[in-house]
C-alpha cells in the first residue's frame, strides 16, 4: 500500500495532468447552438467578464476580495458587507456539538449573524449569477439594476451582521459556456442540458443525472463537457469533499472557517419554478429548513411565481425530500451552517404549467424571484438570530 504522502502526490499529479489535458481540449459546438436571446436586458449580468467589470466599477460600500483560485487558475472573488466575527472559539464545530453548545465553536461574537450567497457552482446556470449581481446592486444602492427598489431587503440586510456574496464560484465552467443568455426554446430543454451537463462525441446529450457518473470528467471524451465541471473535470457540487477537494471547495472551506456562516444559499438553475431543496444535513436543522422554506415560498406564491396560487399547497416543506450528500452537506459538517441549494427556473425553457396554461418566465420575474428569495432568507436570519438560536438547548 502506498504511503499517504505518495498517494496524495499521485492524486495531485493526476489532477494536474487532467487539468492540462482538459485545457487543451477543443469543443466542436454546433453553430446552431450559439444563438443568443435577442435584446438581453441590461440587468442580466451573467458572464465572468461582466461580473468582473461590475465588481471593479460598481461596488463601493462592500469590500471585494479574492478568496482563492479555480482548478484552471482563475480568481474567485467575493464581496463582503459588515464586520467579520471577532475572536475565535475554544473548540471545533464537532467538539461544540459534543459539548452541546455551538458557541464554543462560534466564539465570543456568536450573536453576529452571517449570511452567504454562493452562485454558479455550475457555470452554465446564469440566473443565480444575475441574481447575485442584482443583490449586490441593492446592497450598494437600494435598487436593483432595473431601478426597482427593495426596501424590505435593505432593512433585513441592515439587521444581519455580515453578508458575503460570491457571484461565480465555478469560474472555469462559466468561462467555458460562450453565451450570456440562451434563447427561449419553449418546453425544449435540449440546449439547456447541452450547455450544462454536456454532450457525447456524437452530440447527444449526456443528461442528468448521467453527468455525475464520471467525476472527474475527461473533456476529450465529450463534444462539449458542459458548465458543471471545473477545468479539472470535477462537478464541485459533488466533489471529493474529504480526501482531495478541489481548489474551489478548499476556498469555500477556508472562508467558512474564517466567517462561520449561519445560512448559505447555494443558487442553481434547474426547476420549473423556484424552490429551496431540502439538504442532507444535521437532523436538528430540519425544522429550521422547514420554516425557511415557508418564508421563501409564501411571497413567491403571492407574487404569482409558483406553479399554483394555493399558498397552503406551495409552502408545505414536506414536498421536498432530502437530497443525497453534496456540497451543502459538506459545508454544514464543516462549519454548522444551514446550507441550502435553491433551484431557479431557466429563462430558456419552461415545462411548468400554471392554472392549466403554459407559464413564461420573463427575465423580470426571474429577477423578482431571486430578490424575493434573498430578501426572505435575510429576514429569516435577522428575525431568528441564526445558528445559536436555532439549535442551542434552552435552560
pLDDT tens figures, 173-218:
999 999 999 998 888 889 999 999 999 999 999 999 999 999 999 9
pTM of the predicted structure, to 2 decimals: 0.94
CB 37 within 8 A of CB 347: yes
Angle at 331 between CA 106 and CA 22, to 5 degrees: 140
CB 168 within 8 A of CB 48: yes
Distance CA 6, CA 305 (A): 53
CB 248 within 8 A of CB 281: no
Question: What sections of 260-338 are H helices per DSSP?
Answer: 286-302, 311-314, 327-335
Distance CA 152, CA 223 (A): 46
pLDDT of residue 10: 52
pLDDT of residue 17: 77
CATH, residue 343: 3.40.630.10
30-62 pLDDT, tens digit per residue, is 999 999 999 999 999 999 999 999 999 999 999
CB 364 within 8 A of CB 146: yes
For the segment 14-21, the average pLDDT, to the nearest whole number, is 77
DSSP 65: E
DSSP 79: E
- Flag whether 212 is in a domain: yes
Which residues partner with 124 through β-bridges?
A: none
- Flag whether 80 is in a domain: yes
**How many domains does one find in the chain?**
1
Q: How confident is the model at residue 354 (pLDDT cuts 50, 70, 90)?
A: low
- Flag whether 118 is in a domain: yes
- Residue 150: give the domain boundaries: 36-391
Q: β-strand 114-119 against 162-166: which pairing, if any?
A: parallel
13, 135, 309, 352, 360 from 363: Cα distances, Å: 43, 15, 20, 16, 10
- What is the rounded (10 degree) CA torsion for 330, 255, 9, 23? 90
- Flag whether 295 is in a domain: yes
pLDDT of residue 48: 98
CB 97 within 8 A of CB 79: no
pLDDT of residue 143: 98
Instruction: Tell me the average pLDDT of the chain.
Output: 93
96-140 pLDDT, tens digit per residue, is 999 999 999 999 999 999 999 999 999 999 999 999 999 999 999
**Overall residue count recorded for the chain in this entry:** 395
Reported as type and span, the H/E element at residue 101 is none
- Flag whether 60 is in a domain: yes
72, 218, 229, 232 from 24: Cα distances, Å: 12, 11, 15, 12
pLDDT at residue 148 greater than cutoff 90: yes
Exposure class string for 102-138: b at 16+ Cβ within 10 A, else e: bbbbbbebbebbbbbbbbbbbbbbbbbbbbbbbbbbb
Considering only 9-23, 67-81, 106-120, 137-151, which range has the smallest mean pLDDT?
9-23
Distance CA 141, CA 153 (A): 12
30, 130, 305, 345, 360 from 272: Cα distances, Å: 26, 18, 10, 5, 10
pLDDT at residue 7 greater than cutoff 60: no
- Flag whether 19 is in a domain: no
pLDDT of residue 212: 94
Contacts 24+ apart (CB under 8 A), 239-244: 239/327, 239/330, 241/327, 241/330, 243/11, 244/8, 244/11, 244/15
**Burial class (CB within 10 angstroms; exposed 0-12, middle 13-18, buried 19+) of 197:** buried
Smallest CA-to-CA distance from 330 within 342, 339, 341, 320 is with: 339
197, 206, 211, 236 from 200: Cα distances, Å: 10, 6, 10, 21
- Flag whether 29 is in a domain: no
pLDDT of residue 4: 46
- Flag whether 31 is in a domain: no
Considering only 141-145, 180-184, 295-299, 355-359, which range has the smallest mean pLDDT?
355-359
Q: What is the CA radius of gyration of the chain?
A: 20
Distance CA 82, CA 162 (A): 5
273, 287, 308, 364 from 353: Cα distances, Å: 10, 29, 9, 18
Amino acid at each position: 500500500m502506498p504511503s499517504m504522502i505518495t498517494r496524495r502526490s499521485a492524486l495531485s499529479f493526476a489532477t494536474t495532468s487532467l487539468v492540462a489535458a482538459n485545457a487543451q481540449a477543443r469543443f466542436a459546438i454546433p453553430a446552431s447552438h450559439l444563438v443568443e436571446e435577442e435584446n438581453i436586458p441590461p440587468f442580466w449580468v451573467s458572464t465572468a467578464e461582466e461580473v468582473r467589470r461590475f465588481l471593479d466599477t460598481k461596488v463601493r460600500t462592500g469590500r471585494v476580495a479574492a478568496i482563492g483560485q479555480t482548478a484552471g487558475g482563475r480568481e474567485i472573488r467575493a464581496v463582503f458587507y459588515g464586520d467579520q466575527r471577532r475572536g475565535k472559539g475554544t473548540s471545533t464545530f464537532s467538539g461544540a456539538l459534543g459539548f452541546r453548545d455551538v458557541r464554543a465553536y462560534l466564539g465570543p461574537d456568536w450573536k453576529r449573524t452571517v449570511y452567504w450567497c454562493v452562485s454558479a457552482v455550475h457555470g452554465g446556470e446564469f440566473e443565480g449569477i444575475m441574481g447575485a449581481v442584482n443583490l449586490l446592486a441593492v446592497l450598494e444602492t437600494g435598487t436593483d439594476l432595473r431601478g426597482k427598489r427593495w426596501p424590505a431587503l435593505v432593512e433585513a440586510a441592515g439587521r444581519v451582521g455580515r453578508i458575503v456574496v460570491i457571484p461565480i464560484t465555478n469560474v472555469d465552467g462559466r468561462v467555458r459556456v460562450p453565451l450570456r443568455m440562451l434563447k427561449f426554446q419553449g418546453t425544449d430543454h435540449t440546449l439547456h442540458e447541452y450547455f450544462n451537463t454536456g454532450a457525447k462525441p456524437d452530440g447527444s446529450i449526456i443528461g442528468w443525472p448521467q453527468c455525475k457518473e464520471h467525476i472527474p470528467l475527461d473533456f476529450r471524451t465529450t463534444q462539449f463537457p458542459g458548465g458543471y465541471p471545473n477545468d479539472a473535470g470535477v462537478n464541485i457540487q459533488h466533489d471529493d469533499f474529504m480526501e482531495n477537494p478541489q481548489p474551489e471547495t478548499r476556498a469555500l472551506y477556508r472562508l467558512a472557517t474564517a466567517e462561520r456562516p449561519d445560512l448559505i444559499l447555494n443558487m442553481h438553475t434547474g426547476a420549473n419554478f423556484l424552490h429551496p431543496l431540502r439538504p442532507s444535513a444535521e437532523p436538528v436543522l430540519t425544522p429550521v429548513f422547514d420554516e425557511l422554506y415557508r418564508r421563501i415560498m409564501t411571497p413567491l406564491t403571492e407574487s404569482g411565481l409558483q406553479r399554483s396560487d394555493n399558498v397552503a399547497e406551495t409552502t408545505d416543506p414536506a414536498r421536498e425530500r432530502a437530497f443525497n450528500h453534496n456540497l451543502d452537506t459538506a459545508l454544514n459538517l464543516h462549519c454548522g451552517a444551514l446550507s441550502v441549494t435553491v433551484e431557479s427556473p431557466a429563462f430558456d425553457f419552461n415545462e411548468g404549467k400554471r392554472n392549466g396554461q403554459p407559464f413564461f418566465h420573463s427575465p423580470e420575474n426571474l429577477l423578482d424571484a431571486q430578490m424575493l428569495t434573498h430578501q426572505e432568507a435575510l429576514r429569516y436570519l435577522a428575525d431568528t438570530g441564526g445558528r445559536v438560536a436555532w439549535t442551542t438547548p434552552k435552560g
